[in-house]
Structure 1
Amino acid sequence: MAPRKEAQKATECGDSNMEIFSKALTAGSVWVEKDDFLDVIYWLRQILGVVLGLIWGIVAMKGFLGLALFFLINVAIVYLYYSTFQNVDEEEYGGSSEILKEGLMTSFSSFMVAWIILYSALHSEL
């Protein structure tokens, strides 16, 4: 589909990407489309996964502690984002557990790739 048709379709069906991004950064936004909010959670998690993986790789974090801290920080940030910043009713999205597991495993894989590559590049002896 051509880019203009995609943009036109997005404005007919719901918010454009810029409007969704703006809502994501605005506290207490009203989410008409549930999928838009879940997409924001998904991409927030992907960014968190890569950033935490880069930090863990730079500081040479190892083992179970690194994995546990990743899950703790990732879940805590998402929980704080949707419960305090956006003030969404979690029951509209299937409960707290549904929001908290949205994109968690793909975020974990992004985290692992970034962590392993940067750790190996900076701290392994050849």
Structure 2
Amino acid sequence: MATQRRKPESKSSKTEPELPSVPSVWKRAFTSGSEWPDKDELLDVIYWGRQIVGIIFGLIWGAVQMKGIVGLALFCAINAGILYVYFMGFQKIDDEEFGGVWELTKEGFMTSFALFLIVWIIVYSAIYFE
């Protein structure tokens, strides 16, 4: 009696969506005018870029004894400005594909602001607390 065996399905016949590789996202993030077929990838780059900006400026503001509303206003203006230049000048994207300039500008802003405040307060308190 002969037994029939099933042929194993090849991986190419499956229709699983491919996940973007991290190196390709990094490459596109640092290459001017990159194509972003998945809009969420650019939004992720903007989000994490804002977090890095928040940490860096929190360290700087705490180290140079920046205080008050001036520090807050400067951070907000610089944070929005850096990201605006990044997505409009460096990446040259069509902002309407992502919901407009306002949607891109506010992407990850509040978490970046909170992270900035935490780092600013910790660094300032650690260096200048009596």
Give 1:26 shift. Answer: 0.4
Whether 2:16 is the aligned partner of 1:16: answer no
Match in the other structure for 2:65: 60
Whether 2:51 is the aligned partner of 1:46: answer yes
Unaligned stretches of 5+ residues in structure 1: 1-10
Give distance in 2, aligned partners of 1:20 and 1:27: 13
Match in the other structure for 1:86: 91
Match in the other structure for 2:8: none
Match in the other structure for 1:97: 102
Unaligned stretches of 5+ residues in structure 2: 1-15
Give 1:14 shift. Answer: 3.8
Deviations 1:7-37 (A, max 9, x none): xxxx943421111011000000000100000
Give distance in 1, aligned partners of 2:18 and 2:72: 39
Give distance in 1, aligned partners of 2:19 and 2:99: 21
List structure 1 runs of 4+ shifted beyond 4 angstroms.
none
TM-score normalized with structure 2 length: 0.86
Give distance in 1, aligned partners of 2:125 and 2:42: 36
Q: Which structure's CA Rg is the greater one?
A: 2
Counterpart amino acid of residue 128 in structure 2: H
TM-score normalized with structure 1 length: 0.89
Q: Which has the higher helix share?
A: 1
Residue in structure 1 matching 2:124, options 109, 119, 122: 119
Count of residue pairs the alignment pairs up: 115
